[in-house]
């Protein structure tokens, strides 16, 4: 063991809660093992020699039948369930890439559980979560579903050679690589429909029949993202790519055990809708989908991602219908969403917030076209239940339908002159996410804007102050500060007083760290990984956010099941004493992190 191992454990929970002496003892007694890519860490049923902690690399865990359960990264532990049972592995594990693991001997693991409360709470809690957590596509990553190291060929490979490779490997597609990057995809259907049916010579290059530049997903995509993209575009194979490098491929067969018919059905129906009324009919079932997902025990970010996926597909379908009516667009454009849709956090109550970013150099005719397109899409979204934005933050507002150069000027001006309006607009626009059109119009703009914002201390100070405008509903004597009058008297606004304060904190962390993530939970995770927040404070904030957001969604699901329209106003009197106590503790954590931001402790200067 080296000093690096000691430093590694000092940053890793629950070891960071132990004394220096205990950590040094762990380091002295632990072993370091290195496992080559594809090598076994342990087999199912094997007697475990301790707790495995991943220091570098990744480990894939499978159940007794060989189904992938998870893909674990540095900092994750494995083997604890077996150690807490009969001492035998209840799963199998293999290294995905060259990996280094620390093994805490079995007796050390058990002695730490007995003597160290923080250690015991962590692993007992993890065990309970593993036993009760529902298995679903919304909670599994694409990397856990994909076949790693897929069979490949080059564009010059002949159709005969490609067919033989598929036959010999018992697969239905080949990934076509050129210069180490994914250039195309060829399937059995391509071989039959394009080569065999057209009687092409056997030495025909595969480039002639492949699908060039196929749709892909990043490794952090969820199984639901895979399923929804397949449903929308009728795909049977979906490569997983990171930084241009091919990691693996997911097929429809891989999804069989994880089918999520409710959300996938809505996505497929929306993608095939012939008109706006058909889209509206699909959207009318979103509340029931939300209630079912919450009732099945899915965490808030899984539910809101599924709800937002439907909105994304509805938006793209409206863009297609608009182009069928108006004709093809005269120039490149990008339709982007902000607000909850931009952050992939839509619930049962969502208006629309969107903008159009256009190619530079357009004439009046082109501008009129995009004004008509914006009207068609925004009217369609309103008909589907995504009501017009009360603040007119929509592409129908000429201010938010502009060439990319104007958008650059907008951001530069807001950063250089952080007035109250500029702070408000920047808060909204830093949550932009591409939905349809040409995403390259946004890529460079986002990176440049984040760099400008992070480099302007005056702007970030103003944004930090703006992030503290939404207070938590904490009252005196361990009670809640509820709304005092009006239709929502004696309730807590779980959006503006619960979720929004964390959304604001996440946005600030993203600005400080130049993090490109838009989703709040992803921003908090990224801030924790990058050291922008302290390990203890960051984990507490994540737990507090999960509790507040889950409580908000359960409230909406209860309303839907009772036949009511969902809202964000929760009467605390309906909660048990236990629930009220934990919810209050969550608000205390959020308020503490707001205070840390105010005092400069929550972000690194």
With beta carbons less than 8 A apart as the criterion, state whether 11 and 535 touch. Answer: yes
- C-alpha pair distances (Å), 63 with each of 92, 123, 224, 245: 6, 20, 21, 28
Same fold, 3-133 and 143-258: no
- C-alpha pair distances (Å), 430 with each of 6, 91, 425, 446: 38, 42, 8, 8
pTM assigned to the model: 0.63
Taking 90 as the threshold, does the pLDDT of residue 467 lie above it?
no
Residue 358 confidence class, pLDDT cut points 50, 70, 90: very high
- pLDDT at residue 85 in the model: 65
Q: How far apart are CA 306 and CA 225, in angstroms?
A: 8
Q: How far apart are CA 499 and CA 430, in angstroms?
A: 17
Taking 90 as the threshold, does the pLDDT of residue 519 lie above it?
yes
Query: What rounded mean pLDDT belongs to the chain?
Result: 87
Q: Which residues pair with 381 in a beta bridge?
A: none
What is the DSSP-derived secondary structure letter of residue 203?
A: T
pLDDT in tens, 102-141: 999 998 988 888 888 778 767 764 444 333 333 456 666 7
Taking 60 as the threshold, does the pLDDT of residue 30 lie above it?
yes
- pLDDT at residue 133 in the model: 39
pLDDT in tens, 319-338: 999 999 999 999 999 999 99
DSSP per residue, 457-487: HHHHHHHHHHTTSS---B-STT-B----SST
- pLDDT at residue 279 in the model: 94
Mean pLDDT of all residues in 513-521: 90
For the chain, which residues make up each domain, given as ranges? 3-133, 143-258, 261-463, 467-598
- Topology adopted by domain 3-133: Jelly Rolls (2.60.120)
- Topology adopted by domain 143-258: CBS-domain (3.10.580)
Peptide bond before residue 14 is cis, with ω within 30 degrees of 0: yes
Residue 216 confidence class, pLDDT cut points 50, 70, 90: very high
pLDDT in tens, 434-454: 999 998 898 788 888 888 888
Q: Please compute Rg for the chain using Cα positions.
A: 26
Q: Which residues pair with 174 in a beta bridge?
A: 186
What is the DSSP-derived secondary structure letter of residue 568?
A: S
Closest of 513, 524, 537 to residue 602, by C-alpha: 537
Q: How far apart are CA 293 and CA 307, in angstroms?
A: 10
Residue 604 confidence class, pLDDT cut points 50, 70, 90: very low
Question: Percent of the chain beyond pLDDT 90?
Answer: 50
* CATH 2.40.10.10 describes domain 261-463: no
**Alpha-carbon dihedral 283, 287, 292, 296, rounded to 10 degrees:** 110
With beta carbons less than 8 A apart as the criterion, state whether 552 and 568 touch. Answer: yes
pLDDT in tens, 477-497: 567 989 989 989 999 999 999
- Topology adopted by domain 467-598: 1.20.120
Closest of 26, 92, 100 to residue 63, by C-alpha: 92
- pLDDT at residue 258 in the model: 45
Phi, psi of 447 (to 5 degrees): -60, -45
Could you count the other beta carbons within 10 Å of the beta carbon of residue 393? 20
Burial class (CB within 10 angstroms; exposed 0-12, middle 13-18, buried 19+) of 398: exposed
């Amino acid at each position: 063991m080296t000093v690096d191992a000691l430093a590694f454990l000092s940053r890793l929970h629950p070891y960071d809660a132990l004394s220096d002496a205990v950590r040094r003892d762990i380091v002295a007694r632990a072993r370091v093992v290195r496992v080559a890519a594809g090598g076994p860490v342990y087999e199912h049923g094997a007697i475990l020699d301790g707790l495995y902690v991943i220091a570098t690399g990744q480990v894939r865990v499978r159940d007794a039948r060989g189904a992938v359960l998870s893909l674990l990264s540095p900092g994750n532990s494995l083997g604890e369930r077996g150690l807490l049972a009969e001492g035998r592995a209840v799963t199998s594990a293999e290294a995905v890439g060259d990996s280094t693991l620390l093994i805490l001997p079995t007796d050390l693991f058990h002695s730490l559980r007995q003597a160290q409360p923080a250690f015991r709470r962590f692993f007992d809690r993890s065990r309970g979560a593993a036993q009760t957590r529902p298995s679903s596509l919304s909670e599994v990553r694409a990397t856990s579903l994909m076949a790693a190291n897929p069979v490949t060929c080059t564009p010059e490979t002949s159709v005969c050679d490609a067919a033989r490779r598929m036959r010999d490997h018992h697969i239905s597609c080949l990934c076509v690589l050129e210069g180490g990057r994914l250039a195309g995809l060829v399937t059995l259907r391509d071989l039959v429909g394009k080569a065999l049916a057209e009687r092409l010579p056997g030495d025909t290059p595969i480039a002639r029949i492949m699908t060039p530049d196929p749709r892909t997903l990043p490794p952090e995509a969820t199984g639901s993202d895979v399923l929804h993209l397949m449903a929308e575009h009728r795909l049977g194979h979906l490569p997983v790519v990171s930084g241009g490098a091919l990691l693996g491929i997911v097929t429809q067969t891989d999804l069989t055990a994880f089918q999520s018919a409710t959300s996938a059905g809505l996505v497929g129906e929306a993608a095939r809708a012939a008109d706006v009324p058909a889209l509206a009919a699909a959207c009318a079932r979103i509340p029931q989908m939300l209630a079912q997902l919450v009732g099945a025990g899915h965490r808030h970010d899984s539910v809101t991602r599924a709800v937002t996926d439907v909105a994304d597909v509805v938006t793209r379908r409206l863009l297609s219908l608009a182009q069928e009516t108006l004709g093809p667009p005269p120039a490149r454009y990008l339709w982007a969403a902000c607000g909850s849709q931009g952050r992939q956090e839509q619930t049962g109550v969502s208006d629309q917030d969107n903008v159009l970013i256009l190619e530079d150099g357009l004439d009046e005719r082109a501008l009129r076209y995009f004004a008509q397109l914006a009207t068609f899409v925004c009217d369609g979204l309103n008909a589907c239940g995504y009501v017009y934005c009360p603040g007119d933050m929509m592409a129908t507002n000429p201010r938010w339908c502009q060439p990319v150069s104007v958008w650059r000027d907008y951001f530069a001006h807001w950063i250089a002159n952080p007035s109250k309006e500029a702070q408000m607009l920047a808060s909204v626009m830093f949550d932009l996410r591409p939905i349809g059109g040409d995403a390259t119009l946004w890529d460079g703009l986002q990176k440049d804007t984040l760099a400008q914002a992070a480099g302007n201390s005056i702007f970030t100070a103003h944004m930090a102050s703006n992030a503290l405008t939404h207070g938590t509903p904490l009252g005196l004597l361990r009670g809640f500060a509820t709304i005092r009058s009006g239709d929502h008297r004696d309730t807590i606004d779980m959006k503006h007083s619960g979720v929004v304060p964390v959304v604001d904190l996440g946005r600030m962390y993203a600005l400080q760290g130049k993090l490109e993530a838009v989703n709040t939970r992803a921003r908090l995770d990224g801030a924790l990984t990058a050291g922008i927040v302290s390990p203890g404070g960051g984990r507490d904030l994540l737990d507090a956010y999960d509790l507040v957001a889950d409580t908000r969604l359960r409230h909406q699901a209860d309303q839907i099941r009772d036949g009511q329209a969902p809202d964000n106003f929760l009467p605390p009197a309906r909660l048990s004493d236990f629930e009220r106590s934990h919810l209050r503790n969550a608000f205390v954590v959020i308020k503490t992190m707001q205070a840390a931001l105010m005092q400069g402790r929550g972000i690194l200067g």
